Structure 1
Amino acid sequence: TAAAAAASSAPPVPASGGAAAASRVSGVAPAEVSGAALKELLGQLTAALLATGAEPSLRVGGQLGAHHRILGRLASTQPLLSGYQGALLEHALSLPHERHELLLAWAYAEFREHSLERYDELADVLLASLHERLAPNDRLWTKLLLQMPRLPRTVLELLRSDVASAASPRLTLGLTTLRDLALQRDAWRPACLELLLELCTAGSAPLRAPSIRLVVSMAAGEGVAQAAAVDQIAARAHSHAAEELEAALAAEEEEEAARRLPLYLALCNRSPSMLAALLAGFDGASAAAQATVQELLPGLLLHLPMEAVTEVLLAQLRGEPDASPPLAAASPLPLLALHVLADRATAVGGTVPAALTAGVLGLVSRLGPHGGAYAVPLLPFLDESQSVAVLPALLRLDKGDLTEALAALAHAEPPPLAPRALLLQLHLLKPEDGERGVPLKALIDAVQACINEREVFTRAELTAALEEVVQLDPLPLLTMRTIIQTMVNWPDAATAVMGLLRTLLEREVWATKLWGGYVRCCSMAMPLSRELFYAMPPAQLEAALASHPDVKQKLVAHARAERGAVPTAALGVLGL
């Protein structure tokens, strides 16, 4: 107290005097100094430290730290927030980077000598004053918070104000300070982590994004030496994200879902197995949540390892674990994931994992009528045998989806099935009844979809495929329909079509269910098909002309004009 009084009344001491005083205090044993002399020395020392220009000499002499500790101890003997303490605080804050150790020395002296109530009250003033004085991006603030012996609870309010808005000039420093406190001060870890987690679901996206990045990096242990701290942070971050996922999937507004989901998705980026809960909960989610998930998920899947996503997807489709039942219908989210992975592979000229194609194809039949939908995104990556095997499942799709699937097969580079091979395989499929069968209408739609892809199924491809079809035994049910469609879509293929019809006639097509279609095709091809009519057995020719009297009139007119070119049997049927 006497030294403080001396300090307040003593005249300024030159810098050299301060250094000398420092030397005297540090070099003389306490027992050798009388009480009066000690008071005089402390008074001179205080005045020297508060004098402008004293500190450089003390720093050079290595005495500045010792004198900071002496001043801090001296200040701790004064009444709380007295004039002396106020003067010392202003002295420290005038050059905080050079004098922050004085504040620390003072805080430690208070912490050792007084009650926690007095310490907290003083620390509150010290830190609030420092917070106000420092620039918004000054890391000295963080350094002091990490080095203080104890932090008053009011610090949390200062930190909260720093990160209250994306427009706050202290936002970046506030977030990193929360991170450092959570990582390095065990007692403050829960409070700082909870505030960061709260920010991860804030209403402002510019505030959420940096908060999420910090939490994810902390949970991954980046820059953290203590394994225990990482475990605590990771456990709390994952449990909080799971709570937010549950709330997001139940959200009735897309804005709420979009606010709650990003933290979970960001953690999935480090732990792809977390996708399982998202896939399992999707079908029961609100419409708003489903729309939001489908909007956000592709961005995540573009960066996850394909093998990890494959494992999660196949487990979901198989119904693993037991608590997650296998999908009985084409769920939008796994389908979306498959499309994203396929597009990602196509963009880089690569392929999807073999385990994914094999796994999905192995599940197609078990997934029933909707199983083919899961195979569609993977069609460009199948081999020929896999493509043939999946065709029946594709034919169970709706017409629009079926058309899309066949287009994917046809336009793949290179296609797993050449166009003529695809047409041939479609004709080899037999329409059957029952859920597992191939509907006739779907077969018709599939062949028509192929014919409509004129850039791929050219005239040459169609006629080449049909040349193989007309040699099959038994003749496929759609043979005549495909020939007619070829003739309609490619009028200049008439000559090739006549050759196909001639082959069918040689194979006694009248003895099959195709005969009606054959006669219709010949009638459409008149007059090119006259020779085919003349080549029919009399009974079949008579029946054909009975159903197409217009053709009979044309043949009669031709036979009268060129009687010598018409077979005798045909003339008899024509009544000539």
Structure 2
Amino acid sequence: YEEYIFADVRKRHDLAFAWLYQEYVYANGYLSILDPNKKKDFTKYDDTLCRLLEYLQEKPDQRDGLFSRLLTSAPLITDNALLVLKRYCQDETRSYLGMNTLRDLIFRRMNMREKFLDILLDFTHNENISVRNNAIRIAKSLHDKEEFKQPIERHALQFLKHLTAAQPPEALFGEDKKASTIPSDTWTEDSIRLCLPLYLSLMPSNHHLIQPLATIYTAVNGDIKRVILRVLEIPVRGMGMNSPELLKLVENCPKGAETLITRIIHILTEQAPPSPALVEKVRDLYHKRVSDVRFLIPVLTGLDKKEIISALPKLIKLTQPVVKEVFNRLLGLNTSSETSHASPILPFELLIALHQISSEECELKTVMNAATLCLNERAIYTHDVLAIVIQQLVDINPIPVLFMRTVLQALSFYPKMVGFVMNILQRLITKQAWKQARIWEGFIKCCQKTRPHSFPLLLQLPPPQLKHVFQTAPELRDGLIRHIRSMSMAQRSLIPSSMLTVIEDNSENVAPEIRIQTIPTTTSSMEQ
């Protein structure tokens, strides 16, 4: 009848089950009336069970669940049958049903529950992602039940602690893993990742697990730290920024876990504005324990304007990509309408604050680079915004060193601002800009760039300053002479003789056709 059953096990599964139970009865010696002392022999039973399982394993159609039914109904599950089950679970096309079978066995076979649970948990570190995810799916569902919480967490923590060892544990490279990862004396990214998935998957519903993770993080090497930082996103998002355990971790940041905390805060604030509770914890951490300004970046929009301005000198000293991120957050760039949050500092206020950073707080070049990053955001720093910035900067005394650089950049971006810039240059003359070397240097460059619009302004300079302009930019003399020659006689007569002396002081080097020979040298009405 064996051949008859195996000819079509699916249609004759009732016979197959009866056959298996018969072999179990024989193995137990229940029918051995003549020799009651005969030892139990499950060899035939084991062979029958494994043959049936292997037959069902080889057949692709598993919709009737016969493989699972056979295992859950078998009177005894032998070690060899477990090996068949493990192979079944490792087949990614069957792992879903295989893990479900393990779950059913865990619930139904109390005497073997621990063994089945160990097999399931072992699969949560399998190299095959489909196998691993199916095992984690079942482990998470079991973890919701009180009787399984401790053993599952204990297993997850055990593998997390493996990361503190000098080399990966043999448990990652067992024969039944079928891992392509070759056993190694050193940690690789693949072996590091295999220790983490179960633990991380439990965190969103079990927030207390974040604390041991931080402790382990402080004890591992840099390579392992980097992998941990890369795989944190999903579990941390699942916890959310209002998690008491996360807030507690931020508040009591373990020494050596600073980069972990920073990464966690970044993840929490990438898609949502920082909560008041998170801002408060980060603020306290920064002011009382860890004065690393990078902690503030994720919660910048939750700080007040004064705090942001105070932190700017430190923030702009960071690497350019980080500074770019700072400005993106403050200017509301790269955020959707759902996640955007009103910045406590307006764009024009930010640029003005950068100009007011002193050389004692930060090198000039660093401030220049930061200001340029802002100005390059043309959609934010429009013609009108830059006009407000320049108008307010020119009223500061002393005028900020980078003022004229910003004026020149604004003019380069928006040439139609030339009329506005001429008014600013006129203000600079009244403020005696030549008393500040950098401002005066920028003034002359601006006059060069805006000619012929700047020629009337040059005539408003005191003679000594005009002479210095010509010494710095000789080409402005020729242009100014042409401008004067285009003026009416009445207009020329208003030019003081002292000014004309400066203008013609180098007239031998001026082309004959543009010399001011026709300008009267008599005392003008302005000199009377």
Same fold (TM over 0.5): yes
Q: Which amino acid aligns with 2:239?
A: L
Query: Do 2:393 and 2:399's aligned partners in 1 also have CA atoms closer than 8 Å?
Result: yes
Q: Distance in 2 between matches of 1:115 and 1:272?
A: 57
Structure 1 counterpart of 2:495 = 566
Q: Which amino acid aligns with 1:428?
A: Q
Q: Distance in 2 between matches of 1:361 and 1:525?
A: 47
1:214 aligns with 2:138: yes
Q: Distance in 2 between matches of 1:186 and 1:128?
A: 22
Structure 1 counterpart of 2:336 = none
CA displacement 1:227-256 (0-9 Å, x = unmatched): 4x3355235333433345546996533332
Within the candidate set 185, 199, 203, 2:127 is matched to 203
Within the candidate set 525, 533, 537, 2:458 is matched to 533
Q: Percent identity?
A: 24
Structure 1 counterpart of 2:347 = 419
Structure 2 counterpart of 1:353 = 275
Q: Which amino acid aligns with 1:343?
A: E
Structure 2 counterpart of 1:315 = 249
1:253 aligns with 2:188: yes
How many pairs are equivalent?
454
Cα distance change of structure 1 residues 235 and 394 upon mapping to structure 2, 3 Å threshold: closer
Q: Calculate the aligned-residue CA RMSD, in Å.
A: 4.0
Query: Do 1:219 and 1:234's aligned partners in 2 also have CA atoms closer than 8 Å?
Result: yes
Deviates more, 1:176-185 or 1:129-138: 129-138
Q: Distance in 1 between matches of 2:274 and 2:398?
A: 39
Which ranges in structure 1 are unaligned for 5 or more consecutive residues? 1-91, 222-226, 346-350
Structure 2 counterpart of 1:443 = 367
Cα distance change of structure 1 residues 446 and 129 upon mapping to structure 2, 3 Å threshold: closer
CA displacement 1:66-108 (0-9 Å, x = unmatched): xxxxxxxxxxxxxxxxxxxxxxxxxx97546799999999999
Which ranges in structure 2 are unaligned for 5 or more consecutive residues? 1-11, 169-185, 334-339, 505-520, 522-528
Structure 1 counterpart of 2:478 = 553
Cα distance change of structure 1 residues 207 and 379 upon mapping to structure 2, 3 Å threshold: same
Query: Do 1:218 and 1:233's aligned partners in 2 also have CA atoms closer than 8 Å?
Result: no
Cα distance change of structure 1 residues 212 and 368 upon mapping to structure 2, 3 Å threshold: closer
Cα distance change of structure 1 residues 168 and 383 upon mapping to structure 2, 3 Å threshold: closer
1:265 aligns with 2:200: yes
Q: Distance in 2 between matches of 1:536 and 1:530?
A: 10
3-state secondary structure, aligned to 2:231: helix
CA offset at residue 493 of structure 1?
A: 0.9
Q: Distance in 2 between matches of 1:479 and 1:274?
A: 52
Query: Do 1:411 and 1:456's aligned partners in 2 also have CA atoms closer than 8 Å?
Result: no
1:475 aligns with 2:399: yes
CA offset at residue 420 of structure 1?
A: 1.6
Query: Do 1:245 and 1:261's aligned partners in 2 also have CA atoms closer than 8 Å?
Result: no
Q: Which amino acid aligns with 1:163?
A: K
Choose 1 or 2 for highest CA Rg: 1
3-state secondary structure, aligned to 1:209: helix
CA offset at residue 570 of structure 1?
A: 2.3
Cα distance change of structure 1 residues 185 and 231 upon mapping to structure 2, 3 Å threshold: farther
1:431 aligns with 2:366: no
Query: Do 2:160 and 2:196's aligned partners in 1 also have CA atoms closer than 8 Å?
Result: no
CA displacement 1:330-358 (0-9 Å, x = unmatched): x3x5454444333332xxxxx23223334
Q: Distance in 1 between matches of 2:484 and 2:390?
A: 31
Matches within 5 A, 1:480-559: 480-513=404-437, 514-559=439-484
Structure 2 counterpart of 1:241 = 159
Query: Do 2:123 and 2:131's aligned partners in 1 also have CA atoms closer than 8 Å?
Result: yes
Q: Which amino acid aligns with 1:509?
A: A
Taking structure 2 as the reference length, the TM-score comes to 0.72
Query: Do 1:200 and 1:209's aligned partners in 2 also have CA atoms closer than 8 Å?
Result: yes
CA displacement 1:418-470 (0-9 Å, x = unmatched): 222221222222221xxxx2222111111122222212111221111110111
Cα distance change of structure 1 residues 192 and 571 upon mapping to structure 2, 3 Å threshold: same
Structure 1 counterpart of 2:78 = 155
Query: Do 1:523 and 1:551's aligned partners in 2 also have CA atoms closer than 8 Å?
Result: yes
Deviates more, 1:519-528 or 1:438-447: 519-528
Structure 2 counterpart of 1:401 = 322
CA offset at residue 359 of structure 1?
A: 3.2
CA displacement 1:110-144 (0-9 Å, x = unmatched): 59x97895286787578557757879623543543
Cα distance change of structure 1 residues 311 and 493 upon mapping to structure 2, 3 Å threshold: farther
Query: Do 2:163 and 2:220's aligned partners in 1 also have CA atoms closer than 8 Å?
Result: no
Structure 1 counterpart of 2:239 = 304
CA offset at residue 497 of structure 1?
A: 0.6
Q: Distance in 2 between matches of 1:383 and 1:552?
A: 51
Q: Distance in 2 between matches of 1:256 and 1:102?
A: 46
Query: Do 1:245 and 1:264's aligned partners in 2 also have CA atoms closer than 8 Å?
Result: no
Taking structure 1 as the reference length, the TM-score comes to 0.66
Structure 1 counterpart of 2:73 = 144
Cα distance change of structure 1 residues 169 and 254 upon mapping to structure 2, 3 Å threshold: closer
Q: Which amino acid aligns with 2:276?
A: A
CA offset at residue 297 of structure 1?
A: 2.7
Cα distance change of structure 1 residues 238 and 257 upon mapping to structure 2, 3 Å threshold: closer
Cα distance change of structure 1 residues 239 and 216 upon mapping to structure 2, 3 Å threshold: same
Structure 2 counterpart of 1:344 = 271
CA offset at residue 284 of structure 1?
A: 6.6
Q: Distance in 2 between matches of 1:169 and 1:541?
A: 86
CA offset at residue 495 of structure 1?
A: 0.6
Structure 2 counterpart of 1:44 = none
Q: Which amino acid aligns with 2:376?
A: N
Q: Which amino acid aligns with 2:319?
A: D
Q: Distance in 2 between matches of 1:510 and 1:169?
A: 80
Query: Do 1:469 and 1:479's aligned partners in 2 also have CA atoms closer than 8 Å?
Result: yes
Higher helix share: 1
Query: Do 2:354 and 2:371's aligned partners in 1 also have CA atoms closer than 8 Å?
Result: yes
Q: Which amino acid aligns with 1:258?
A: R
Q: Distance in 2 between matches of 1:525 and 1:493?
A: 10
Q: Which amino acid aligns with 2:349?
A: A
Q: Which amino acid aligns with 2:281?
A: G
Q: Which amino acid aligns with 1:466?
A: I
Query: Do 1:406 and 1:450's aligned partners in 2 also have CA atoms closer than 8 Å?
Result: yes
Query: Do 1:498 and 1:528's aligned partners in 2 also have CA atoms closer than 8 Å?
Result: yes
Q: Which amino acid aligns with 1:467?
A: Q
Q: Distance in 1 between matches of 2:226 and 2:432?
A: 59
CA offset at residue 496 of structure 1?
A: 0.5
Q: Which amino acid aligns with 1:550?
A: E
3-state secondary structure, aligned to 1:344: coil
Q: Distance in 2 between matches of 1:358 and 1:489?
A: 40
Structure 2 counterpart of 1:42 = none
3-state secondary structure, aligned to 1:574: helix
CA offset at residue 406 of structure 1?
A: 1.9
CA offset at residue 410 of structure 1?
A: 2.4
